[in-house]
Structure 1
Amino acid sequence: MQLQDMVVLITGANRGLGLALARAASAAGAKKVYAAARDPSRISVPGAQAVRLDVNSDVDAAAAAELCGDVNVLVNNAGIARGAAALSVGAFEAARAEFETNVYGTWRMTRAFAPVLAAQGGGAVVNVLSALSWLNIPAASTYCVSKSAAWALTNALRNELRGQRTQVVGVHVGYMDTDLTAGVHAPKIRPEDVAAQILQALADGRDEVLADITSRDAKAGLSAEPGAYLRSGA
């Protein structure tokens, strides 16, 4: 799928990867870009149509699907990280918040837009996941668990949407140079580079993006002995 003349909706489009994707989609010739955020006044992409959207709200998701009934590509980019260890005080509260956005937000938006995409001939859904869908960092266990669930959800959605010819792309990336990783001192990939890879995956009809060496090593490590997910301190 080429983005030229397509209509794209991107959640969390006010910063980071969402902002990079909105700019990239516009540059690629998208007919229309809906840039969604809880505070639409923070949308800064020239020509994009700002949409007020909280992916945690059933009402907002339904309203977005009605307002943006011409969408060909839904990008589920909005996500949060609370960074709690699994047995820490407050872990359940952190996990609930992360699941609400990272899993149920993606689920809610895809369910709301599935009929819209079907009416456009199938279109595509892009889910922004993580290398941590396959690994676990003890200090951020709850986030890792939410991203593992989001990966499983992506596979379920791909199976269920195949019948209406909707392409479902799972995007895995390690550290990306965004606000979310501002306190992390490690090599990071530019969000603009990840955005370019996502657009290429859509054009190529691929189901998965492994955006950096971290995500590629993580996936390869699933079949290693011992599996990467079994190693201490992964």
Structure 2
Amino acid sequence: MEVQGCVAIVTGANRGIGEGFVHVLIEQGAAKVYAAARDPASAQHLVDQYPGKVFAVRLDVLKPDQIVEAAAACPDVSVLVNNAGVSTGKCLIGADDMSAMREEMEVNYFGPVAMSRAFAPVLKANGGGAILNVLSVAGIVAVPNMGGYSPSKFAMRAAGSCIRAELAGQGTSVTSLIVGSVDTRMASHVKGSKEAPEDIARAAMKGITRGVDEIDTDRFAIESRAALARDPKGTERGMAKMLHAKELSTGR
């Protein structure tokens, strides 16, 4: 499908990668973008910037009723961007309890799956369309100091493959975005070079136009996959060292 003329909904659109998607979708000719956020007022700056093009939608992916309401309120959607996510930085064993990892699984896995289920009929009605799942290098390489986040992204990557198979018959493409180091609030503690959110979104748009199943969106993602292919065990050991690192860096 083409980005030109599409109608998209972006979860977590009020900042970071989500906001980058809104800018790039409009830049590349989307007819309309629903900027979904837990607090619609937090996305008002995008509505003001693109009057008649961007519309704020109340949506917390942890609340099934709001997902149902969003699907009903946005019947013209042809592109679903599952971007909303959370990282608590807690380990699996060292955390005081399992509340953080449960939250990460709820937001990063069950949320996008619920969105895909709710919008699958909408996409079908509008010609098939596309689903973009914003994942992470931590979804292809286990990162112990992101003990709940990393498994949730692994799970969503697998879910994307399952959803792709289920929706192939209605012409819906499903693209997993493997994101490395991006200049967002979530990665504010990481040193070194980081990509602009808009560049991640531009890479993702190629997934729509080319129907690609999975895209490494930036240099860090590409290099991480290459390292994993060359030396899986060495990469695993390198990730383990991050548990004791005083400072995290992209290496550049």
TM over 0.5: yes
CA distance in 1, matches of 2:235, 2:62: 30
- 8 Å contact from structure 1 (residues 221, 227) kept in 2: no
Partner residue, 2:4: 4
Moved more, 136-145 or 71-80: 136-145
Partner residue, 2:246: none
* TM-score of the two chains, using structure 1 as the length reference: 0.95
Partner residue, 1:184: 190
Which of 196, 216, 230 is matched with 1:224 structurally?
230
- 8 Å contact from structure 1 (residues 170, 207) kept in 2: yes
CA distance in 2, matches of 1:91, 1:212: 34
CA distance in 2, matches of 1:74, 1:179: 23
Partner residue, 1:16: 16
- 8 Å contact from structure 1 (residues 125, 168) kept in 2: yes
- 8 Å contact from structure 1 (residues 103, 147) kept in 2: yes
Moved more, 160-169 or 195-204: 195-204
| 1:145-224 equivalent positions in 2, closer than 5 A | 145-224=151-230
- Aligned-residue offset at 1:225: 4.1
Q: Does 1:233 align with 2:239?
A: yes
Compared with structure 1, are the counterparts of its residues 91 and 141 closer, same or farther at alpha carbon in structure 2 (3 Å cutoff)? farther
CA distance in 2, matches of 1:186, 1:156: 35
- Aligned-residue offset at 1:222: 4.1
- 8 Å contact from structure 1 (residues 58, 108) kept in 2: yes
Q: Does 1:27 align with 2:39?
A: no
**Runs (5+) with no aligned partner, structure 2:** 241-252
Partner residue, 1:38: 38
Partner of 1:136, secondary structure, is: coil
Moved more, 37-46 or 71-80: 37-46
CA distance in 1, matches of 2:67, 2:239: 38
| 1:136-151 equivalent positions in 2, closer than 5 A | 136-151=142-157
- 8 Å contact from structure 1 (residues 117, 124) kept in 2: yes
CA distance in 2, matches of 1:123, 1:178: 28
- Aligned-residue offset at 1:114: 0.3
Moved more, 224-233 or 51-60: 224-233
Which of 37, 52, 56 is matched with 1:50 structurally?
56
Partner residue, 1:106: 112
Q: Does 1:95 align with 2:101?
A: yes
Partner of 1:78, secondary structure, is: coil
Compared with structure 1, are the counterparts of its residues 217 and 55 closer, same or farther at alpha carbon in structure 2 (3 Å cutoff)? same
CA distance in 2, matches of 1:69, 1:106: 18
Q: How many residues align?
A: 234
- 8 Å contact from structure 1 (residues 84, 91) kept in 2: no
CA distance in 1, matches of 2:173, 2:217: 18
CA distance in 2, matches of 1:68, 1:144: 31
- 8 Å contact from structure 2 (residues 142, 236) kept in 1: no
CA-to-aligned-CA distance 1:76-105 (integer Å, 9 cap, x gap):
000000111121133511110000100000
CA distance in 1, matches of 2:95, 2:55: 41
Partner of 2:215, secondary structure, is: strand
Which of 121, 124, 127 is matched with 1:115 structurally?
121
CA distance in 2, matches of 1:32, 1:168: 20
**Runs (5+) with no aligned partner, structure 1:** none
Q: Does 1:86 align with 2:92?
A: yes
CA distance in 2, matches of 1:222, 1:139: 18
* TM-score of the two chains, using structure 2 as the length reference: 0.88
Query: Alignment RMSD, CA only?
Result: 1.5
